[in-house]
Amino acid sequence: MIDPHVHLRDWGQAEKETLQHGMQVALQCGIDELFDMPNTSPPLTTEEAVLTRLEDAWRCNVGVRYHLWAGVTSDPRQVESIAKLATSLFPSVIGLKLFAGHSTGHMGLVEEQTQRSVYQTLASAGYEGMVALHCEKESLLRPSLEDGRDFSSHSMARPVEAETASVRDQIRLSGEVGFKGHLHICHLSSVEALGIVEEAKRLGRRISCAVTPHHALLSSKDACDHDLYAKMNPPLRSETERSSLFAALLAGRFDWVETDHAPHTLQDKELGASGIPGFSGLLLLVKQLIEQGASAKLLARLLGERVLQVAGLPEREICIPSYDQLSALSLAAAGAYPYDSFAKFRLR
């Protein structure tokens, strides 16, 4: 299986996870290809950092195909140079990442003019590869509604409207400047945002979107259980939203599943860090999809085939663990981290 959205930490965040550990756990779960995100410490925004990260990953040599997303900044010169680097190092560098809102790592480019400038620079440079997007419009966030003792309040502080508005912004801004690359909308948490992406597809835009196991399996009600530490960006939504996302996934409306695997230490989670381990949840989601009648063809598409197609990678077989293996593998993966946000779902 392929997981095109992971945060394997290491370097200045080695206490959270190392590249070696993350890849080993992924492989134990049947995930043999990973796309790593750039909000590392230091971030993957320079040629030196990108090359060092690739060397460190290859040195792990655990049998996982490793790629990374390079990050863009507000500096047009950096955007131009990192786009050139991504093109020359493809497929090791699978594409670029733009945080259209702040999240872990503080790489957010939150002003519309800055976002437009990134797309303009990419268009002028002739970059036509993938740009992965974290979509949450900063001006629509409501931090005053955040209660650090209640992780479910995170969904009020970062409402659905912030996601949908940002998705519309990225489609509009990139189109206005003639950007011809592929937009990938990461970790959608609302059916409304999915509809916006589907409309853009109908209009001929190169665009895809994905859902995470946590948004398809857990709701904001689960986040009320403090011991699950179920806080992430974008946050968990209502049970109605969650069930709608799962139904859309089962109907084949999403391009793929991505875990947004983002481990922290238990202390960091107690202090309110956003992000959870995702490999355990992926296996639970596959199990649930099978139980709800998902075909082998749909599972193969969601867990790798569509990623290969969009990313421009060679076709290969996507192997999925058997139904009987899924629970045991998920439990083992959860044991590799100091907390398990999918524990409640496992007991359902």
* Sheet strands (E) in the chain: 2-6, 33-36, 65-71, 93-100, 130-135, 182-185, 207-211, 256-257
Q: Would you list the DSSP string of 142-176?
A: -GGG-BTTBGGGHHHHS-HHHHHHHHHHHHHHHHH
In the annotation, is 150 catalytic?
Answer: no
Residues in the chain: 348
Are 44 and 95 within 8 A, CB to CB? no
Are 280 and 334 within 8 A, CB to CB? yes
d(CA 322, CA 325): 5
d(CA 237, CA 218): 8
Are 255 and 309 within 8 A, CB to CB? no
Amino acid identity, position 182 = H
Residue 42 Ramachandran class (φ > 0 left, ψ -120 to 50 alpha, else beta): beta
Catalytic residue among 260, 268, 324, 340: 260
Phi, psi (deg, nearest 5) at residue 190: -140, 145
Residues annotated catalytic, as ranges: 260
